[in-house]
Each structure stands twice: as structure tokens, then as C-alpha cells.
């Protein structure tokens, strides 16, 4: 994947979906308040366990012009608030789907 998913792909290349991005990595990737397409996880509270699975993508059918949307655990979510909470936690698409199917993350390092 590329283009709209370039941030997510680059972030995964750094973390392999096993740890959060460091501040220096986020800076190098140019993280901003603009949501980036991809699959992520987020915590409900600081330093708590990862509990939410996040997907951000272009939905061409949501409006006449289309728009970027976010879901958290398959439910609609505020795009801007969600992005700020998940930007440093990219995960592989397979990790996202496993979490949605089983309710658990499929990696061993859930406390990163």
C-alpha cells in the first residue's frame, strides 16, 4: 500500500506493530494533527492496556464527495480525537482483524 497509507506503512516498518513510535520517530515521520489512513490501537487510559482497535480510511460512499472516517472497535468515532490517541500505535492489518474477531491482540508485547 502507498499514497494515503504511506505514514502507516513507514510507521510499521519502524515498529513492526509491536511497540509505540518514539518521539523522534514521530518527528521523523512528520506526525501532525491530520489523521493518516491505516490500522492502529489505542489505550483507554495513559499507560493502560491497549483496548481499542482503530481503522482510518477514505470512505467514498459516506457522502457525495467522500470523506476520511475512523472507527473504534467497528463503531463510528470522532476522527480528530481518535487520531491524536492512536497515531503512535500502528498495527498490522492482521493484528487489527484478530483483535476484532477475538477481542485480544495477537502479539505478546501488549504492555509496550
pLDDT > 80? residue 96: yes
Domain count, the chain: 1
For residue 108, is it within any domain?
Answer: no
Q: Is 8 exposed, middle or buried (0-12, 13-18, 19+ CB in 10 A)?
A: buried
For residue 28, is it within any domain?
Answer: yes
d(CA 63, CA 46): 34
For residue 111, is it within any domain?
Answer: no
For residue 39, is it within any domain?
Answer: yes
- Would you tell me how many other CB atoms lie within 10 Å of the CB of residue 60? 10
Domain of 39 in residue numbering reads as 3-102
pLDDT band, very low/low/confident/very high, at 112 (cuts 50, 70, 90): very low
* Of residues 97, 106, 90, 104, the one with CA closest to residue 6: 90
pLDDT in tens, 18-73: 999 999 999 999 999 999 999 999 998 888 888 899 999 988 776 666 788 999 99
According to the model, what pLDDT value does residue 48 have?
87
For residue 34, is it within any domain?
Answer: yes
For residue 109, is it within any domain?
Answer: no
For residue 110, is it within any domain?
Answer: no
Buried b / exposed e over 26-57, threshold 16 CB at 10 Å, is beebebeeebbbbbbbbeeeeeeebbbbbbbe
Amino acid at each position: 500500500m502507498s499514497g494515503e497509507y504511506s505514514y502507516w506503512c513507514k510507521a510499521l516498518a519502524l515498529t513492526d506493530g509491536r511497540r509505540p513510535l518514539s518521539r523522534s520517530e514521530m518527528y521523523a515521520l512528520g506526525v501532525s494533527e491530520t489523521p493518516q489512513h491505516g490500522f492502529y490501537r489505542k489505550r483507554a487510559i495513559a499507560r493502560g492496556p491497549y483496548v481499542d482497535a482503530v481503522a482510518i480510511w477514505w470512505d467514498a460512499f459516506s457522502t457525495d464527495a467522500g470523506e476520511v472516517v475512523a472507527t473504534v472497535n467497528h463503531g463510528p468515532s470522532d476522527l480528530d480525537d481518535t487520531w491524536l490517541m492512536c497515531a503512535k500505535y500502528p498495527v498490522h492489518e492482521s493484528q487489527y482483524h484478530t483483535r476484532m474477531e477475538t477481542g485480544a491482540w495477537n502479539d505478546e508485547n501488549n504492555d509496550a
